[in-house]
Amino acid sequence: MTRVVDQTIFLVLLLLVLLSPIPVGSNQYWSWSLLAALSATLTLLWLLTSVLARRPIFTRLHPAIPILFLLAVAWAWLQAQAWVPPGWKHPVWELAGETLGLLPGAVSLAPEDNQTAIMRLLSYGLVFFLAFQLARDRHLARKAFWWIFIAGVIYSVYGLLSYWGVLREFLWYRDDSFNLDVRATFVNRNHFANWIGIVIICAMTAFYDRMLRAPQTHMMTLQSRQKSLDRFMARAWAPLAGLILLVSALVASHSRGGFIATFCGGAALLLLIDRKQRAVSTRARAVAVSALLVSAVAFFITSEMLIERFDNTALDAEGRQQIYLLTARGISDNPLYGFGYGAYEDGFRFYRDEYVARRVDRAHNTYLENAFELGIPAALCLFASMLGLALTCLAGLARRHRDWVYPAAGVAATVMVAVHAAMDFGLQIPAIAMLYALVMGVACAQSYSSMEKR
């Protein structure tokens, strides 16, 4: 009975994560609040069933990882409190109090935005926690990656249909620029590219796992080799077609950062697979070559606009560089306390100059933005917790003798989002952050043998 409940909760969790891109990446107040409420409900339900079944929580994850994460969350919560020492509060509250009367003040310039950002961050943590607990079952881990693959194909088909002019509206959202780039249900093409990049890594992992589990045959004769090739093509043609579609959608998004980040993540995955296979088998080579050929074909079919955007990179790099410099100045002015988690726009107003006259609500660099908002110590705690997950997967890759491809996917996905975070703010979009949390939960769960005790 417990197994049935676990499978049901895991399937609902998968649906929650894979449906989250539909309301424009869940980047709206109502959608991310609903995601947070549902993820909390699922976690409470799983904890209740665990208590009733007297089942211990799987705690093999290194304690430093949740401690660092919770330290960052705790500091973000303190930033919004009025009772903190006056020396911690931003001076603007004192100046505003002189004009408007007594104001409680806080470290954060926007305490309400702090609470919202914390809610979102905790919901990502709950998605990871559930996936980590439930995906110790290798069948659920395999099912998760295939569902992600299939969902990615569906969103890519929708995005390509919009790009080709077949569809021009989505639910209540209409935009004539849909035919300029593939963005599926996301408002921004870069966000779709970030999301589909994680999907591509999961698709490559699922494809390799499927080929790895295919029955081995000794190719002593020409006839047996032909049979082996026919069997390979019978198992591989559908996943390869799906992979071509995913890469085509990525390239047609015309997102330079998304393409570079996905390339880095995919290369990391293939490198890890090659290193794990000490004597690289013919099948491993076939899978790697197939993935590379698929990517090359999709790139050359749809890459003209993307190449043009690479040629024009210098045209908009200057504007972002100015934002980076101003953000770094803000960090140096307030390195310990920060301006408040989720309060980047409010804090950046003090640093805008004649070169950046427009409204800036994101730094287009997650590392700088988090350091600006949280302060350097808390931001480092948050970054270190994510690095700890990648190191857990790396250790699992070295330790496991089966299902090691899932920890490899966790490392590759972290490489992908880490590269993209240096150029954009994809992880601040709930649909992307939830998908990454789910993938890392599965990858970390499979970093330990299912035979290991609590």
pLDDT tens per residue, range 435-446: 999 999 999 999
Backbone angles phi, psi at 169, to 5 degrees: -140, 155
Question: Comparing 392 with 211, which gets the higher pLDDT?
Answer: 392
Cβ contacts of 357 within 8 Å, gap of 6 or more? none
Tell me the two tokens of residue 229: 């090739």
pLDDT in tens, 58-82: 888 999 999 999 999 999 999 999 9
How many C-beta atoms surround the C-beta of residue 13 within 10 A? 26
Q: What is the largest CA-CA distance in the chain?
A: 90
At 209, is the pLDDT very low, low, confident or very high (cuts 50, 70, 90)?
confident
Place of tokens 């110590």: 377
pLDDT above 70 covers a percentage of the chain that reads 79
pLDDT in tens, 350-362: 888 767 767 788 8
CA 120, 121, 124: angle at the middle one, nearest 5? 90
Question: Which of 281, 251, 282, 276 lies closest to 395, judged by CA?
Answer: 276
Radius of gyration, alpha carbons of the chain? 23
pLDDT-wise least confident of 218-227, 276-285, 385-394: 218-227
Cβ contacts of 276 within 8 Å, gap of 6 or more? 397, 404, 408
Under 8 Å between Cβ of 255 and 307: no
- The answer to whether residue 165 scores a pLDDT higher than 80 is no
Tell me the two tokens of residue 425: 């703010």
- The answer to whether residue 195 scores a pLDDT higher than 50 is yes
- The answer to whether residue 280 scores a pLDDT higher than 50 is no
- The answer to whether residue 283 scores a pLDDT higher than 80 is no
Tell me the two tokens of residue 140: 């659920």
Q: Which range, 246-250, 390-394, 426-430, has the best average confidence (pLDDT)?
A: 390-394
Under 8 Å between Cβ of 156 and 213: no
Tell me the two tokens of residue 141: 């881990």
Burial class (CB in 10 A: 0-12, 13-18, 19+), 29: exposed
How many C-beta atoms surround the C-beta of residue 104 within 10 A? 11
- pLDDT computed for residue 210 by the predictor: 80
pTM of the model: 0.91
- The answer to whether residue 190 scores a pLDDT higher than 60 is yes
- The answer to whether residue 180 scores a pLDDT higher than 80 is no
- The answer to whether residue 294 scores a pLDDT higher than 70 is no
Question: Which of 324, 328, 359 lies closest to 345, judged by CA?
Answer: 359
- pLDDT computed for residue 453 by the predictor: 47
pLDDT in tens, 240-268: 888 888 988 998 888 888 989 998 999 89
Distance (Å, rounded) from C-alpha 162 to C-alpha 171?
Answer: 13
Q: Which long-range contacts (CB under 8 A, 24 or more apart) does 4-7 make?
A: 5/49, 6/46, 6/49, 6/134, 6/137, 6/140, 7/140
Question: Comparing 216 with 450, which gets the higher pLDDT?
Answer: 450
HSE-up of residue 445 (Cα within 13 Å, Cβ side): 25
At 176, is the pLDDT very low, low, confident or very high (cuts 50, 70, 90)?
low
Q: Average pLDDT of the chain?
A: 84
Under 8 Å between Cβ of 351 and 372: no
> How far, CA to CA in Å, does 81 sit from each of 36, 84, 104, 370, 380?
22, 6, 9, 19, 21
- pLDDT computed for residue 279 by the predictor: 39
Under 8 Å between Cβ of 326 and 356: yes
Q: What is the mean pLDDT of residues 114-142?
A: 95
Distance (Å, rounded) from C-alpha 254 to C-alpha 157?
Answer: 16
- pLDDT computed for residue 300 by the predictor: 55
Distance (Å, rounded) from C-alpha 377 to C-alpha 385?
Answer: 13
Under 8 Å between Cβ of 252 and 182: yes
Question: Comparing 188 with 288, which gets the higher pLDDT?
Answer: 188
Under 8 Å between Cβ of 304 and 311: no
